[in-house]
Amino acid sequence: MAKLFRTAIMGPPGSGKGTISKRIAQNFGLQYLSSGHFLREGIAANTDAGVLVKGYVERSMLVPDHLMSRLMLPRLEQLTGHSWLLDGFPRTIAQAKALNDICQMDLVISLNIPFETLRERGRDDVTGEPLIQHADDRPEALQARLRHYKDVAKPVMNLYKSQGILYQFSGTDTDRIWPYISSLLSTKIPTQPLDTCQPSAQA
C-alpha cells in the first residue's frame, strides 16, 4: 500500500515559503495547512482561540507552544487519510516534539535565504504585509527578527537533521529554487497515498 506523505516547510519571514508551499500543494496534491492562516482566521472570526492569540500575532511574536499545539494537532489528527504540507508549524522544538508524538514526518524543507534578499523584498509573500510593521522598526529590527527566527528554528532543524529528513535550499530567487524542490519531491512523493497516519515510534 502506498504511504501517506507528511511534510513541512520552514523559512524566515519573506523567504518565499508561502509561494513555494502553494506550488507544492498544487503540483503534488498535498493538503496545505498554514498556521499563520489559521491564526488570522481565528482572529478575524473572534473565536476564543483568536482572542487568545491576537496580541501575539499583531506583534509578530510567537504564540505560546501549548496554544499552537492545541490549534494544529487536532487538525492533523483529522487528516489521517491525506498527505499534507505544513507551513509555519512547527516553529519551536516544543512544537516539533508535540508533532512527533502524533506523527512521523517524511520530509522537511528549509529555505535559507540571504539577509540582503529578505531586506530587499521587505514583504511577507503570503499576506503582503511589510516585514517591518511598527513605527520604531528599522533594518536592525528585521535583523533581530531573523536572528530570533534562526535561534528558535535551529533546534527544530537539528531534530529533523538527526532523523535524516531535513533538506535545505539556498538562493535568492524563488523561481530558481523551485525546480530543485520540485524534483526532490517528485522522487519522494508516492503517487497513490492510501494508508493512515501512524503514531511516531520516537515519542
List residues binding ligand AMP (CB under 6 A): 13, 35-36, 39, 56-57, 60-63, 68, 88-89, 91, 95, 126
Give the Cα separation of 54 and 22 in Å (integer). 25
Q: By C-beta, is 124 or 193 nearer to ligand AMP? A: 124
Smallest distance from the beta carbon of 191 to ligand AMP, in angstroms? 29
Nearer to ligand AMP, 57 or 93 (CB): 57
CB of 8 to ligand AMP, least distance (A): 10
Q: In this complex, which beta carbon is closest to ligand AMP, that of residue 66 or of residue 176?
A: 66
Phi, psi for 82 (deg, rounded to 5): -120, 155
Give the residue with the Cβ less far from ligand AMP, 90 or 193: 90
Tell me whether residue 119 is exposed, middle or buried, using C-beta atoms within 10 angstroms of its C-beta: 0 to 12, 13 to 18, 19 or more.
Answer: middle
Distances in Å between the Cα of 31 and the Cα atoms of 8, 177, 198 are 11, 21, 17
Q: Residue 39 or 157: which CB sits closer to ligand AMP?
A: 39
The least distance separating ligand AMP from the CB of residue 68, rounded to whole angstroms, comes to 4
Q: Are 40 and 149 in contact (CB under 8 A)?
A: no
Compute the least distance from the CB of residue 199 to ligand AMP, in Å. Answer: 21
The nearer residue to ligand AMP, 84 or 189, going by C-beta atoms, is 84
- Taking the complex as a whole, the smallest distance from the CB of residue 176 to ligand AMP amounts, in Å, to 23
* Whether 87 contacts 32, CB under 8 Å: yes
- Shortest Cβ distance from residue 87 to ligand AMP (Å)? 7
Contacts 24+ apart (CB under 8 A), 57-65: 60/13, 60/133, 60/145, 62/91, 62/92, 62/152, 63/39, 65/92, 65/94, 65/95, 65/98
Alpha-carbon gap, residue 190 to 143, rounded angstroms: 39
